[in-house]
Amino acid sequence: MQPSAFQPNHVHDRRSLPEAFASVRVPQDNTHWMRRFLSYVGPGYMVSVGYMDPGNWATDLQGGAQFGYTLLSVILLSNFMAILLQALSARLGIATGLDLAQACRQRFHPAVNFLLWVACELAIIACDLAEVIGTAVALQLLFHIPLLVGALISSLDAVLILFLMNRGFRYLESFIIGLLAIIALCFGVQLVAAAPPFGAILSGLKPSVEILTNSQMLYIAIGIIGATVMPHNLYLHSSIVQSRAYDRTEKGRKDALRWATWDSSIALMLALFINAAILIVAAAAFHTTGHQDVAEIEDAYHLLSPLLGMGIASTLFGLALLAAGTNSTITGTLAGQIVMEGFLHIRLPHWARRLLTRGLAIIPVVFATAIYGSSSVGQLLMASQVVLSMQLPFAVIPLVLFVSNRKLMGPFVISRPLMVFSWLVAGVILVLNFKLLYDTLAF
């Protein structure tokens, strides 16, 4: 007999992201495997957006400019951690019909849920801060729009989200995949122009003890992990995998889980390529030419074309930044809706939710630019990624707890070796965050 979690939403009558739930048709079992796989492609790419948002650019640029190719190993490690955690997130959503926020509300004490909700909202605001800055900087660099005006323009994304969601969830996924293709193409061209030494890249992929002993390098490394493994993405993925109209039976869920895992794993390999490309271009263009102090996106934009000897390089950089910022705002909005509905059972219109979180993110941008000017955006981006990193345990620990619970997951509970490995990943995240907290308070 199947556990109650497998019955169609009779215990939890509130479906996650109801406007998208089971809205995408999937072919029958006898259909060619490629058609079946393509019908599941989408949620993984929406999740991958968070792994290449403007916050990643700040940490990757700084890491490449200051330390060359050394931190490539951190990008590789954090990406594998992301693949594991997103697969667990998809497993939770498909196996139980609950997103991570709903599972927390169902299983934890209200006081614990309140703490988790606050932590997740802080993570969304920190991520939104990076999106505001990234979009505003891109608009400033490409079209000479003042930073504050660009930040305000970025709040209009609610209109775009409403339009795409009204057309259907597949339209939203297609729009995001299109922008991801633009980002990948832009950095592919820059990577060819940078012509980095292959041996140095291979050397950078090997972990170095110096990352742990050099406090400045460790700070950026933790920022990379915070920018790569996004807490709100775990909530998002557990919800949007339920947008497929697969059979809500054990067989149907197993099939959906297989394709959803392939979807997210392949999409996150694209994120690995883009993050690694940003760091490699920064290392080749800045570190090896004596520009190790490049930390601002604006500086990188102006230096890329002359240093790479390609006039279009800076424009491609700015275009990719604008695409990344636009993409991130869409997934950030959906994650905010899922978290608020899951933890609090409060539903707000998309535009109201977007303006609320975007308003909270714009405030620090306004103050920082008013006091310090546009030179402060790099520090704000780094700070936002460290805040994200600090929120990670509040999402990772409940996720691993749930997928390890046989009563909740039934036949979809993870194996003991995978459970041990998952807790090891959670432990690494905890240790790194405690180290960051200690260094911050001690100095």
Q: CB atoms < 10 A from the CB of 369, how many?
A: 20
Q: Are 154 and 387 in contact (CB under 8 A)?
A: no
Q: Are 103 and 402 in contact (CB under 8 A)?
A: yes
| Model pLDDT, residue 108 | 94
Q: Are 48 and 270 in contact (CB under 8 A)?
A: yes
More confident residue, 237 or 357: 237
| Model pLDDT, residue 10 | 40
| Model pLDDT, residue 7 | 45
Measure Cα distances from 337 to 192, 329, 404 in Å. Answer: 40, 12, 26
Q: Are 333 and 353 in contact (CB under 8 A)?
A: yes
Give the whole-number percent of the chain exceeding pLDDT 70.
Answer: 88
Mean predicted confidence (pLDDT) in 325-343 = 83
Nearest-angstrom CA–CA distance, 228 and 51: 5
Indicate the domain borders of the chain. Answer: 20-442
Each residue's pLDDT tens digit, 283-310: 999 988 888 888 778 888 888 899 888 8
End-to-end alpha-carbon separation of the chain, Å?
Answer: 57
Closest by Cα among 4, 25, 168 to 97? 4
Mean predicted confidence (pLDDT) in 253-272 = 94
Sign of the alpha-carbon dihedral angle for 142, 148, 149, 152: positive
Q: Are 46 and 180 in contact (CB under 8 A)?
A: no
Mean predicted confidence (pLDDT) in 40-64 = 86
Query: Is a pLDDT exceeding 90 seen at residue 70?
Result: yes
Provide the pLDDT confidence category of residue 104 given band limits of 50, 70 and 90: very high
Mean predicted confidence (pLDDT) in 163-185 = 89
Each residue's pLDDT tens digit, 367-399: 766 666 566 666 776 677 677 777 778 899 999
Domain 20-442 matching CATH 3.40.920.10: the answer reads no
Q: Three-state SS for 405?
A: coil
Each residue's pLDDT tens digit, 14-41: 788 888 888 899 987 777 888 999 999 9
Q: CB atoms < 10 A from the CB of 201, how many?
A: 16
pTM: 0.88
Q: What angle do CA 424, 426, 429 make, to 5 degrees?
A: 110
Provide the pLDDT confidence category of residue 196 given band limits of 50, 70 and 90: very high
